[in-house]
Amino acid sequence: MGKSVLKIKGYKPEDIKELMSADSAFVVATRLNMVYQVAKGLPSREVAKIYDISFKQVTNWVHRFEEKGIEGLNDLPGRGRKSILSVSDLERIRNIVLNEPPVNFGYKRKRWSGPLLSEWINNNYGTNYHSAQIYKLLDRIGVEFKKEEGYVVKN
């Protein structure tokens, strides 16, 4: 009889990957670990397989690290997709998360959760956010979750 394989319940691999990319410090640490693996002698193609990215991206991180040190592993400004939500949309969402309970919007919960907030945003703005992406959005608008308090202004 073979050994049982550990399974993750409630999350798909892409959800976990999204959570990993939500924290910029973790993203930089991951890139630094890629550089470290190459420095130890692991071929960039092997590192690319482990992290599920192109080997060219691994070599880019190595070169940027060699040129600028750890600062070279940060995202460059102006990169990525433009936000679907406008600045006023984001301000409204921030105000609602900080000041209004979900019951005001027909939900039975007293506090916002990531999945509940993604549902509300998707319904009100015609977006298709996954709950993992909501945490990145909350970080961007200066909101964080504190146990016993719920969502608060980020320090």
Examine the domain organization and report whether 98 and 134 are in the same domain. Answer: yes
Quick one: pLDDT at residue 33?
96
**Could you give the C-alpha distances from 49 to 9, 25, 95, 105, 151, in angstroms and in order?**
24, 22, 42, 45, 37
Domain interval for residue 20: 13-73
**pTM assigned to the model:** 0.51
Examine the domain organization and report whether 145 and 114 are in the same domain. Answer: yes
Residues sharing a CB contact under 8 Å with residue 8, sequence separation 6 or more, in sequence order: 16
Query: Does the residue 5 lie in any domain?
Result: no
**pLDDT over threshold 70, residue 1:** no
Count structural domains, the chain: 2
Examine the domain organization and report whether 107 and 148 are in the same domain. Answer: yes
145 CB burial (10 A radius; 0-12, 13-18, 19+): middle
Asked whether the beta carbons of 58 and 51 are under 8 A apart, the reply is yes
Beta-carbon-side half-sphere exposure of residue 75 (alpha carbons within 13 Å): 12
